[in-house]
Amino acid sequence: MPAEIGTKLVSAKFGNEAAKTLAGYEKLGGYQVLRKALAMRPEDLVNEVKASNLRGRGGAGFATGVKWGFVPKDSPAVHLVCNADESEPGTCKDRELIYWDPHLLIEGMIISAHALRAVHNYIYIRGEMMREYAVLVRAVEEAYQRGYLGKNILGTGLECHLTVHRGAGAYICGEETALLNSLEGRRGQPRLKPPFPAIKGLFGEPTIVNNVETLMNVPIIIDKGAQWFAGLGVGRSGGTRMICVSGHVERPGVYELPIGVTFNQLINEVCGGVWKGRKVRAVIPGGTSMPPLSVDELDVPIEFDALMTDERIRPVEVRPGQLFDLGGGRQLRTMAGSGGVVVIDDHEDLVKAVWRIMKFYAHESCGQCTPCREGTGWLEKVCRRVANEQGKPDDLELLASIAHGIAGNTICALGEAAAWPMLGFLTKFRADFEAKIGKVRAA
Ligand SMILES: Cc1cc2nc3c(=O)[nH]c(=O)nc-3n(C[C@H](O)[C@H](O)[C@H](O)COP(=O)(O)O)c2cc1C
Ligand code: SF4
């Protein structure tokens, strides 16, 4: 299967420098859908997005139209915030999307803002994305000049404003409530939920936070119709998916692919196989916060529901034989997350790789709640000594119990982001950890 497979929606203009300007974008039909959308009633737009099966591309895969429906109808002020903080290791699609097609994001935001009756709206962009920030600010200025943004847009009497705000390099500011605190000028720390942002968000007012890719799909849905968009996908997941592939493949990159593609197809047919003629050992399916897949679990589609429920994926254990329970009888397998696929070959020291992941989350914990602040540090410390063959006989039990103490006991999901991969690697690659401990015993 070549990388060109399938319909390109949000990446259709990749490589086309001219499309980044307003004139170039308009020449390709840009902002025509906006005229259609502004003539529609907000509730009809929400229903169209619901029917399209669009699911959030930021990580959790929550149904976008359903989330929009939570905003109270009578609220005097609503905000739409685009989450462009993209910091999950392995994920690098939003930066490409913004760079190549900034006006598609702006058009998607204006349409979505109309659906939500939101007037003052924001794009929160990761601070390190200097190049994308410049492209975006220029595009927003152009949209204001042409009357797509501002007061009385396109003579409809509607008002829509867009402010681009740069973050300062904290991973936690990608978590939506930390992002809102940061946008308000406070410390970027997550808020307790409920209340959810759709009820009480930015400045205490109802706010919808959506990922870049999510919002860029909205004009396409309104243009082509919800049924068409839903039909491109699989089950309850409509459209396509941006997949970022890094690690040990011949052709790493950012690919827009049909949702039914499996990991084996991705690695072998899209990315040219594992590099240097080696074999795949493990795959991180959706950013480093997701439990890994082993080599016999790769014939599964890269799709939200499949990755959570497919019987071919082994559930994650807390301790040998004891499965990780998500509640409601559901066992944790893995998740599609942010679309960041990391392929690991059979020459890699997996325990060292896990230590590196733990180091990241320990560094990025905001320190607000004890299980995460202390637990991520302990995971890093214990994992480091195991990786360096200085572990103690009980260390694997200790790692499992620390991870179990974090998951489900914190304010935000950064806790799980550290605990789940730890438990997942311990479950599926236990022998690698035991070999490190074994070397200590033998010494
Ligand atoms: C620690 C943490 C970091 C996150 N980072 C991002 C991010 O960089 N970009 C993003 O879109 N969502 C991120 N999320 C998810 C957001 O909280 C939120 O669910 C998402 O922006 C909603 O958009 P969607 O519904 O379009 O997916 C993160 C979540 C957590 C817990
Ligand atoms: S889980 Fe971690 S990152 Fe999230 S609020 Fe608690 S301490 Fe902060």
Instruction: List average pLDDT for each run of 10 residues in the chain, which is 443 residues long.
Output: 75 95 97 97 98 96 97 94 97 98 98 98 97 98 98 96 96 98 97 97 98 98 98 95 97 95 96 97 97 96 93 91 85 94 97 98 97 98 97 94 95 97 96 87 61
Which of ligand 1's atoms lies nearest the C-alpha of 412? 31
Helix (H, G, I), strand (E, B) or coil at 310: coil
Specify the pLDDT at position 4.
65
C-alpha 198 to ligand 1 mean position (Å): 14
**Angle, vertex CA 376, rays to CA 371 and CA 381, nearest 5:** 130
The residue whose C-alpha atom lies closest to atom 28 belonging to ligand 1 is 175
With 0-12 CB in 10 A as exposed, 13-18 as middle and 19+ as buried, what is 165? middle
Cβ(70) – ligand 1 distance below 6 Å: no
The residue whose C-alpha atom lies closest to atom 2 belonging to ligand 1 is 175
- Cα separations (Å) of 211 from 10, 166, 375? 13, 15, 29
C-alpha 287 to ligand 1 mean position (Å): 12
Quote the CA–CA distance of 417 and 420 in Å, as a whole number. Answer: 6
Instruction: Report whether the peptide linkage leading into residue 285 is cis, meaning its omega lies within 30 degrees of zero.
Output: no
Select from 87, 360, 372 the residue to mutate for testing ligand 2; criterion: most ligand atoms less than 8 Å from CB.
372
The residue whose C-alpha atom lies closest to atom 8 belonging to ligand 1 is 86
Beta-sheet strand order (sheet of 253-258): 253-258, 240-247, 340-345, 280-284, 293-294
Specify the pLDDT at position 320.
83
DSSP class per residue in 222-235: HHH-HHHHHHHSBT
Cβ(57) – ligand 1 distance below 6 Å: yes
Which of ligand 2's atoms lies nearest the C-alpha of 178? 5
pTM: 0.96
Q: Which domains can be identified in the chain, with CATH numbers?
A: 17-232 (3.40.50.11540), 240-439 (3.10.20.600)
DSSP class per residue in 326-373: EETTEEP----TTSEEEEEETTS-HHHHHHHHHHHHHHH--S-SHHHH
Q: Which residues line ligand 2 (CB under 6 A)?
A: 172, 190, 365-369, 372-373, 410-412, 414-415
Cβ(188) – ligand 1 distance below 6 Å: no
- DSSP state, 269? I
* Ligand located closest to 371 CA: 2
Q: Kindly give the interhelix angle for 395-406 and 414-428, rounded to the nearest 10 degrees.
A: 150
* Ligand located closest to 108 CA: 1
CB 120 within 8 A of CB 370: no
Specify the pLDDT at position 321.
86
Which of ligand 2's atoms lies nearest the C-alpha of 412? 4
Quote the CA–CA distance of 274 and 267 in Å, as a whole number. Answer: 7
* Ligand located closest to 338 CA: 1
